[in-house]
Amino acid sequence: MTSIALFNNKGGVGKTTLTYHLAHMFHRLGLTVLAVDLDPQANLTSMCLDETEIEELWENTADPVADDSSRPASPGTGRVRSGQTIADAVRPILEGTGDVAHVEPARLQDGLWLLAGSLDLSRFEDKLSNEWFKTFAGDIAAIRTTTAFHRVMEQAAEAVQADIVLIDVGPNLGAINRSALIAADTVLMPLAADLFSLKGLSNLGPTLRSWRADWQKLVLPRVPAGFSAPAAGMRPLGYVIMQPEMRLDRPVKAYERWLQRIPRVYATAVLDDKGHAPSDERHRIATLRNYRSLMPLAHDARKPMFDLKAADGALGSTQKYVQTCFREFRSLAEGVLARTVAVGDEP
């Protein structure tokens, strides 16, 4: 099992849309997928479930059982159960009543699961922030808090036998994202071709390296034997350029100057590679066109853009656009999988 966090601290680049479509495409490729919504705005959850299901989830009428290693989590047979979100999982820690609670992922399809998010997750931010520096001294309660996401995801992935875990996080460098990202094996970065994404990369790279170094050098040596803690791998997989307008299958000229600068900024800021050639684009996995006309249809049909049928309104030339969308997302998914293998082989 491998985990991928999709992250850019600049919002509005299509990160959640990319997470949703990659989850479905990985599933189409035969993998068992667990998508995890660790964004307090819960946008991924709202893409996957309808309002009735979300309302049921957020009723919080369930009584999650506090951590008991002898009781493995088990997926339910329905799509949702009330009180089964990531916020419910960490509530015992937040309220000081116990360790993480077992919550069941929602089954979207056979082999495709969602660990749902909640607006209540934002309450966990201050708790995580306050505990971070205590982990450096080996405070077990602080370590238990900071590793909560890792352990919840680990339990859920084991329960559904996931091959791959996709983690959707918010666009910031706050405590929730820090805890989410140290739980990720790899990081995939969606970018827009603009100044703000470049600035986001400049901030993001050094921050990830700092979090990784602090965790691996100061915290992991103090984790008690037998306690499940993440390795804070956070290995960069590469980046995906999102939503430039396309003409003749190429981005329009207005984006060119930003596209030309991204390889150097990515290499220097994220990889800390000062000798990277400015024109070297080997870390760009794909450039996805703007599928603007397909998004409303996909939203109404509650399915990925590449699964739209004539009955969903994808008629005539639109159906050809759907086929192009499928090919591009399949190529992207295969490229991401290849890179997870490649970085996993690195020393």
User: Would you place residue 201 in the very low, low, confident or very high pLDDT band (cuts 50, 70, 90)?
Assistant: confident
Angle at 153 between CA 150 and CA 156, to 5 degrees: 150
Structure tokens at 269: 């800021």
Return the higher-pLDDT residue of 280 and 102.
102
CA–CA separation, 266 and 206 (whole Å): 11
Confidence check: pLDDT of 347 > 60: no
Q: What is the pLDDT of residue 67?
A: 44
Structure tokens at 204: 């993001």
Q: Which of 9-13, 117-121, 143-147, 193-197 has the lowest mean pLDDT?
A: 9-13
- According to DSSP, residue 116 is labeled B
Return the higher-pLDDT residue of 299 and 80.
299
Rg for the chain (alpha carbons), in Å?
Answer: 20
Return the higher-pLDDT residue of 12 and 200.
200
Determine contact, residues 86/38, Cβ cutoff 8 Å.
yes
Q: Which of 118-127, 200-209, 288-297 has the lowest mean pLDDT?
A: 288-297
Q: What is the pLDDT of residue 56?
A: 87
Please, what are the domains in the chain? 2-290 (3.40.50.300)
The contacts of residue 168 (CB under 8 Å, 6+ apart) are 6, 15, 16, 19, 35, 36, 37, 38, 39, 43, 44, 117
Determine contact, residues 165/36, Cβ cutoff 8 Å.
yes
Structure tokens at 159: 């329960």
Q: What is the pLDDT of residue 170?
A: 92
Q: What is the pLDDT of residue 215?
A: 97
Structure tokens at 221: 């040596």
Averaged over 242-259, what is the pLDDT? 68
Angle at 138 between CA 203 and CA 173, to 5 degrees: 15
Beta strands at 164-169 and 2-6: parallel, antiparallel or unpaired: parallel
Q: What percent of the chain has pLDDT over 70?
A: 89
